[in-house]
């Protein structure tokens, strides 16, 4: 019985190989047919038959063909494709600059040149001016679909730049840092250098020797704060104040509190002064009113005595 099964299986194999050799040609060997059997994919019939979309024909496997591209009149021009490629490169360069500059915050001071390059590329894309071959890329790259990927990516970075107030620390045209920014960073570096010099051991020496530099930095920041400086300077000042007060436990009386204390003291004693002056004034007035009556009664008494005498 076992020998019969093996013979039947061998016969079926020979028939299948013969069919393959007939379709491929007379020069196909048995080994080539075996390799072909290994290359034929096996499909799960349940998956193919039950699929509501894929319905292969009975005589072929995967009789599907996809278009490699859309017609030329629907594709963007070579010039616009190159602009899109440059935009992607500069977008990645700016993001790669932003991520390491997240903490401590240096998104304006370190990345303004990358932002400038990205702005220039987007300006070329969104411009009405025609490029080579009288081609404008604004409609094809910015308005050709509902999502508008290029515009969405660009607007997110512009919003980040605006919220950071970077324009207050960078000159117009993204050429360099403003003079106020350079001066503040120089003063900050002097203060931090003093901190590093005296931070070992007792912090009393640090509080004493770095007090003037820290006070100068505070006064400079207060004068710049009204102009809404960029997030880089704001974060640097917050970290410096945290070092001074929390890490080093330093403090100094602020000079502007003296006038506040004087005015508060005056307002506190003002009601007392008012009531005291009112009381003294009323007593003085009462004495003036009583004095004429006493004088008149004394004169009448004198006249009576004269008459009696």
pLDDT of residue 305: 58
pLDDT of residue 52: 56
Interval 21-70: pLDDT, tens: 444 443 444 344 344 434 434 444 444 445 555 555 555 554 455 555 65
Residues composing the chain: 309
Interval 180-208: pLDDT, tens: 999 999 999 999 999 999 998 788 999 99
Q: Per mean pLDDT, which of 69-78, 166-175, 291-300 is the most reliable?
A: 166-175
List, in sequence order, every residue forming a beta bridge with 170; answer none if it has no partner. 177
| Nearest by Cα to 202 from 245, 249, 253, 252 | 249
* 210/226 Cα distance (integer angstroms): 25
List, in sequence order, every residue forming a beta bridge with 177; answer none if it has no partner. 170
DSSP3 helix / strand / coil % (the chain, rounded to 5): 70, 0, 30
Report pTM: 0.61
Tokens of 294: 């006493």
Q: Strand, coil or helix: what is 138?
A: helix
Q: Which residue has the tokens 């920041």?
A: 221
| Nearest by Cα to 178 from 112, 240, 93 | 112
What does residue 170 show for φ and ψ, rounded to 5 degrees? -115, 140
| Nearest by Cα to 237 from 273, 276, 187, 292 | 187
């Amino acid at each position: 019985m076992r020998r019969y099964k093996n013979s039947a299986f061998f016969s079926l194999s020979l028939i299948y190989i013969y069919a393959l050799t007939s379709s491929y040609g007379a020069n196909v060997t048995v080994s080539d047919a075996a390799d072909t059997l290994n290359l034929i994919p096996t499909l799960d019939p349940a998956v193919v038959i039950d699929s509501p979309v894929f319905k292969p024909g009975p005589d072929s496997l995967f009789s599907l063909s996809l278009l490699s591209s859309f017609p030329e009149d629907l594709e963007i021009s070579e010039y616009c494709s190159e602009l899109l490629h440059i935009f992607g490169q500069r977008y990645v360069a700016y993001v790669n600059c932003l991520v390491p500059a997240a903490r401590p915050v240096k998104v304006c001071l370190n990345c303004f040149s990358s932002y400038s390059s990205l702005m220039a590329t987007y300006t070329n894309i969104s411009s009405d001016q025609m490029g080579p071959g009288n081609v404008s890329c604004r409609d094809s790259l910015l308005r050709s679909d509902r999502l508008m990927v290029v515009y969405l990516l660009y607007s997110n970075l512009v919003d980040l730049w605006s919220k950071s107030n970077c324009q207050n620390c960078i000159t117009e045209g993204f050429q360099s840092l403003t003079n106020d920014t350079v001066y503040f960073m120089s003063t900050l570096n002097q203060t931090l250098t003093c901190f590093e010099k005296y931070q070992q051991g007792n912090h009393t020496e640090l509080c004493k020797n770095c007090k003037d530099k820290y006070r100068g930095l505070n006064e400079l920041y207060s004068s710049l704060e009204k102009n809404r400086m960029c997030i880089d300077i704001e974060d640097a000042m917050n970290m410096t104040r945290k070092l001074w007060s929390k890490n080093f436990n330093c403090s100094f009386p602020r000079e502007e509190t003296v006038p506040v204390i004087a005015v508060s003291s005056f307002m506190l004693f003002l009601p007392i002064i008012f009531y005291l002056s009112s009381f003294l004034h009323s007593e003085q007035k009462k004495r003036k009113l009583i004095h004429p009556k006493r004088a008149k009664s004394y004169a009448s008494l004198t006249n009576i005595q004269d008459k009696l005498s």
